[in-house]
Amino acid sequence: MKTIQYDELLKLTHDLLVNALGYREEEAAITARVLVEADARGIPSHGVSRLDLYQKNLRGGFAKTGVEPEIVFETPSSLVIDGHDGIGSYIADYAVQKTIHKAQHAGSAFCAVRNSNHYGIAGFWAERIAAYAMIGSAFTNTRTCAIPTFGRERVLGTNPLAIAIPEDDERCFLLDMATTTVSHGKIEVYDRRSQPMPAGWAVDAEGVGTTDATAFEKIFYENERYGGHLFLGGEGEETGGHKGFGLGLLVELLCSGLSLGMSSLETFVPGQGSGITHFFGAIRLDLFGPPDALKKHLKAILDTIRQGQKASGQARIYIHGEKEAEARERSLREGIPLDDATCALLEKLRHA
């Protein structure tokens, strides 16, 4: 494990994107920021280790540098963007800026995006919208990863969603989660570190639960149909698996359905780009009253939960987003920890 300062890692990642992957300056700047933010927040599954995926997507023809997103449908409070298989973070940045601008004028705005790529942690984009005293939301589909309730084949992505609601003291409630038990990147972390993953995350090609992350990764990339992630709630309906499946399907319909884009099942077809789709939303707080009063009231609700009785052996109740925000503060003070495999990847790219 190695520790590196935030600004140093930001510059290194930016330079690798430009020199090793061929990104334009403006593509590299936002992509580096999104990746380093993930590592700083303690989310290594979506951090600079993603450079390996981004390089593979470029080489496979699934992503392209130098491509500009295009607005293909627009109203005063909505728009649809075609990313033309460009760089995911760059496309998302463009879409979020447009969504915020429309919401500032119309009160609320929504944007569907087709033909994009991996855009980093969804919470980064929802939080950016929340900084404008708005409720921010960000959704995305992914490559096919997950098995529906009572199904055997994987047909949906991990399909994460993020909702950010501002509260007082410049904080915000930030729910950022995959609709599967975990994102695929977390399984990749266990594979990269040669460690068994927890039970209940995935099943093998026979539909049997597995903790072997390395074997699962082999199945995942060699078998296009069977073996995959379980949705929140796990198998069947007894523990609520159908609810996780419903959330994943909702994300798919917002992203792929409203953008006229590819569903997860259709993504990453050779010669057709990645086909990843997103959906963003922004709702001004002042539609419901004075923003400062609303933020104070929201904080009071959250503080009631924070101050509630703790379970035996537990010192604290965390509100969603607090662990990541506090990890970021530590990273800015002490540096960002990177595992050996990630350090080796950066070194390899540096000498490519």
Residue-wise pLDDT for 43-68, tens only, equals 999 999 999 999 999 999 999 999 99
List, for residues 201-240, the tens digit of each pLDDT value.
998 888 888 999 999 999 888 877 888 999 999 888 999 9
Give the integer Cα–Cα distance in Å for 135 and 20: 37
Give the integer Cα–Cα distance in Å for 266 and 326: 38
Instruction: Collect all residues with Cβ–Cβ distance below 8 Å to 315 and sequence separation of at least 6.
Output: none
What is the average pLDDT across 165-174?
Answer: 93
Residue 45 phi, psi dihedral angles, 5° rounding: -65, -25
**Confidence class of residue 27 from pLDDT cuts 50, 70 and 90?**
very high
List, for residues 107-120, the tens digit of each pLDDT value.
999 999 999 999 99
- Full-model pTM: 0.94
Domains 67-181+240-307 and 183-229 share a fold: no
pLDDT of residue 39: 98
Residue with tokens 């939301």: 137
List, for residues 242-277, the tens digit of each pLDDT value.
999 999 999 999 999 999 999 999 999 887 899 999
Residue with tokens 């984009």: 125
What is the average pLDDT across 61-87?
Answer: 98
User: In CATH, what is the architecture of 67-181+240-307?
Assistant: 2-Layer Sandwich (3.30)
Beta strand pairing status for 161-166 and 172-177?
antiparallel
Instruction: Collect all residues with Cβ–Cβ distance below 8 Å to 17 and sequence separation of at least 6.
Output: 23, 27, 28, 31, 32, 51, 54
Tell me if 59 sits within 8 A of 22, measured CB to CB: no
Tell me if 246 sits within 8 A of 146, measured CB to CB: no
**Confidence class of residue 1 from pLDDT cuts 50, 70 and 90?**
confident
pLDDT of 185 > 90? The answer is no
Q: Which CATH superfamily is domain 183-229 in?
A: Hypothetical oxidoreductase yiak; domain 3 (3.30.60.50)
pLDDT of residue 184: 86
Domain boundaries, the chain: 67-181+240-307, 183-229
pLDDT of residue 183: 86
Highest mean predicted confidence (pLDDT) among 144-153, 160-169, 178-187? 160-169
Residue with tokens 């537990």: 314
What is the average pLDDT across 141-159?
Answer: 92
